[in-house]
Structure 1
Amino acid sequence: MPDPAPAPLPANADDRRYRDRPVSFVRRSGRMSEAQERAWSDLAAAYVIDAPRDAAATSILPGSAVDPAAVWGRSAPLVVEIGSGQGHAIVHAASSRPEADFLAIEVFRAGLARTMLDADRAGVRNLRLVEANAPEVLQHLLPEASVSELWVFFPDPWHKKKHTKRRLVTPEFAGIAARALRDGGTLRLATDWEDYALQMREVLGAAEDFDSAFAGEWAPRFEGRTLTAFERKGARVGREIRDLSYRRRSRP
C-alpha cells in the first residue's frame, strides 16, 4: 500500500507563498509507536487525503481542489476541524453524526495515526484526514462554500508576546474561513487563554462576512465538543474555557 506522505522538502526550497506570514505551528519531529506506524500503513489509504504539495511538506498546491462528494462518496454537510490533535473530538463527533461528513486537519502525523486507529475501532467511515497547513486546505483543497461547520478548538495560544504573531485567528484567517464556509455556515471556536479569546472575539466581530451567533460576552459551550483530557487539564489549573460562534453571512 503506498504511503501518502509528501515528497521530501528540497534542500533549496524557499518559503514562498504561505510563508508571507508565520504559520501557526512548529512541526515537531518524533517517532511514532509501532501501533501508529501500523495504522498509517494499514489505514491511510482509506482515511488520508493525498494532497498535492507545493514547496513544503505541509503545503497544498494551489489549484488542487477536491470534490467532496467524490472523496466521501456522497453529498452531505461537511464539518472541518483545524488542529484535530489526537482526534478525540472529531472521532466522537463523526460517530455521533453519521449523516454528516468530517475532515480533520493536522500537521502531526502521530496524532493523525491515533485518529485513524480510534476511528477504525469505532467503525467510523465518514471521516477523512489531511496532513497540512490548515489555511492552505481552506484556500486550495476545499472548494469555495463547501463547508457547513468549521471548528477551531484550543489552537496554540502562542502566549509569549513575541510569538503572538503566529496565532491562527487573524483578520486574514477570517477571510479564508469565510471563503470555505457556505452561506449560513458556522465557525466555532474555543480556547482556555483569555487574551486569545478576546483577540478571537475582536477579529470575528469586525469581520464583514460573519455575524455573531451568540448573545452576551461568550457563546455557551458547544455541546457537540466532547470533553477531552486537554480541556479537563485546563479547567483543573483554573483556566476558564471560552466558546465563540459565528454565522457566515450570505454572499451578494
Structure 2
Amino acid sequence: MDQPIGVIDSGVGGLTVAKEIIRQLPKENIIYVGDTKRCPYGPRPEEEVLQYTRELTQYLLNSHHIKMLVIACNTATAIALDAIKREVDIPVVGVIQPGARTAIKVTKNQTIGVIGTENTIKSGAYEEALVALNTELKVENLACPLLVPFVESGKFLDKTADEIVETSLHPLKNTTIDTLILGCTHYPILKDAIQRYMGEHVKIISSGDETAREVSTILSYKGLLNQSPFAAEHQFLTTGERSRFAKIADDWFGHEVGHVECISLQEPVNR
C-alpha cells in the first residue's frame, strides 16, 4: 500500500522520529509536517494544542490521503493522542509509550528521569506510562522550556549547546537517575550535549527507535506495508520559515532532504 505515512510535530523535533522510520522502513513514503509557525506547543493551552493537532491531521488526511499517522510530538501525544485516535479511521501512534517501554528495559536502579516541555511534564503522561508498567519505579520529572526554542532557532548549528543544557538540566545533575528519557522529540538533536552534562553513567533514551518499530509492527499486522517496486519518496512541509527548516533537516539527516515546501493551514477544524 503506497499511501504515505504522515508524521506531524510542532516543528523540527519530529525529524528525529521521521529519520528512524525511514531507516527502519526504507520502502515507506513519508510526509512530514512541522508546525514551526506556531512552535513551541509546550507552553500553550491544551485546547490550542488539541486544535493544532487536529488541523495537521486533517490536512494530511484530506490533501495526502495518509494510511497512518505518527504524532511525533510529546506534547501533542500527551494532550491529543486519545482524541485523534477516536476521530480518525487510520492507525495513530504517539511517542510516549514507546519511550517509556525502552527506559524500563534499560534502567538498572529503577530511577528514571524525564525531561520535556511544560505541558508534557504537567500532564504526567510519562510517569503514568512508566508506573503502569512498573510500580516500583522512581520518576524524576523536569520541564525544560528553553530547549525547544533553542533547537528551532537553529543556533545549535553554529555553537555548542552545553551552556543551555547545563542551565536546563541542573536540577537532575545530582539525582540518582541512571536513565533519562528525552520527553520531547526536539531534544535528541541536543543528545551529545545532554550526554556530556549528565555523564556516561546515565543512559539517554529517545523514542524514535521504538516508535519506528511500533509503526512497522502495526503496518505489518494490518497488511499496510508498501509493496511497490518504486523507490520511496519523502516530502517535508513546514508552516514557518522554509530555509531554516531545510537547514536543520539537512543537518540532522546528514544530507540534503530535497524539496521543502512552506504550507498554510487555512481552515481551522471545528468539532
TM-score band, normalised by shorter chain: 0.3 to 0.5
Q: If the length of structure 2 is used for normalisation, what is the TM-score?
A: 0.30
> Which has the larger helix fraction?
2
Q: If the length of structure 1 is used for normalisation, what is the TM-score?
A: 0.32
Name which structure has the greater RCO, CA cutoff 8 Å, separation 6+.
2
